[in-house]
Structure 1
């Protein structure tokens, strides 16, 4: 009797685009004998709850590189406006997928245990349509840096707001706020888990007013009345956005 095929309910998708303004062709840069996209794929392979790790790209050279190291690839449209759109298009062919995690291809140091937490949150909280990660901020420079996205959330873990500004804003500053336990400030880590219904709906929503101002796509979800759960992790993973980021990654892999 043939073995029943297990439906792929939990999929991790790695969207990978070719062009990057700050670090061109970063997915194909090599460190320790492997491309950045291969390092990210191998990190994702350690996520226990992911039944399938899939790479989504519109670039033939990236696709060829992924096939070289044995990763499954879905070719998507070249005009996907965001990684979310690319992920939605990639899982369209997997109708049983109910929980999908989006891990950017430039995250080779991704924390598998933290990503597993996103799957667990959505499995255990049917009322939540989306989940993401955050880590405490202990540095004033990072708190004031607009490129460091901050998030505030309620006692039940539901996100209240994401911002490039320091939130919550201290009316009277005290350095002890940075050392408080539990942490006062949190950096958003841009790894997302989606329930399928939300993922397929998001690309149809117009850009929302707060999203337009802050340039943060997740605000579209909040403005449309959906809940985003936030899981706190103590490990702040580092993506590769600049030549300096890549040099740091090379140095860490060589150590």
Structure 2
């Protein structure tokens, strides 16, 4: 199998504009993320796919590989699908550009799903981590996921799922981490299929795969890292980096 990683990198961000170009101890966030993915040694190639000449030039000038998007895209899956459409690859791993603490163990976990999938039953694999902060459970910026008894995703939501109607139940809540491993065929399908109501309501691209019957295998990880969504996250990242 040929396995690559593509990091979608949009310059604009509603909560933290230009966050990927913010300095993280001497290098922009996007470059720290790119280098972290390369360091895992899991991929034949690693690319950044971006709509920004600034991000493109930053990656290339540092010796990295970048692809300039030809169209406007609403989500990372669409951006990656355009970037890899003519590539002869089997598995594409999407790592978010604001994940400079990306680790090898977690990425190896999602790739192992496909190595064990003899019947090619699985379309995507992704990561989840147990929520330990009670405030995150009701935070709409934290995407929650529920799974079946084989760890296939049933649904993703910004709301609390499952809802604890019985207070006697001991419920474990899981946060969806935005790292995906796709079969190329599933990614190409995503690009051509229109958004349906659930995805439009929740604003979670993973739901489109479920709405069209794709199977997403979730892998639990205990590595939380720091996703840089706000200026406060960046300050936490700087302290952690030191």
TM tier, smaller = over 0.9
Partner of residue 151 from structure 2, selected from 149, 152, 157:
157
Which of structure 1's runs of 4+ aligned residues deviate more than 6 A?
A: none
1:175-214 alignment, distance < 5 Å: 177=170, 184-214=172-202
Equivalent residue for 2:116? 124
Alpha-carbon separation, structure 1, partners of 2:167 and 2:239: 37
Partner of residue 236 from structure 1, selected from 198, 207, 224:
224
Equivalent residue for 1:139? 133
Partner of residue 103 from structure 2, selected from 91, 111, 115:
111
User: How far off its partner does 1:21 sit?
Assistant: 2.0
User: How far off its partner does 1:106 sit?
Assistant: 0.9
Partner of residue 68 from structure 1, selected from 37, 52, 61:
61
User: How far off its partner does 1:154 sit?
Assistant: 1.3
User: How far off its partner does 1:177 sit?
Assistant: 2.9
Aligned length: 240
Which structure 1 residue ranges, 5 or more long, are not aligned? 1-7, 179-183
Which structure 2 residue ranges, 5 or more long, are not aligned? none
Equivalent residue for 2:28? 35
Alpha-carbon separation, structure 2, partners of 1:101 and 1:243: 27
Equivalent residue for 2:240? 252
Q: Secondary structure at the match of 1:151?
A: strand
Alpha-carbon separation, structure 2, partners of 1:100 and 1:135: 21
Equivalent residue for 2:4? 11
Alpha-carbon separation, structure 2, partners of 1:67 and 1:29: 17
TM superposition score normalised by structure 1: 0.89
Equivalent residue for 2:75? 82
Alpha-carbon separation, structure 2, partners of 1:199 and 1:152: 22
TM superposition score normalised by structure 2: 0.94
Q: Secondary structure at the match of 2:55?
A: helix
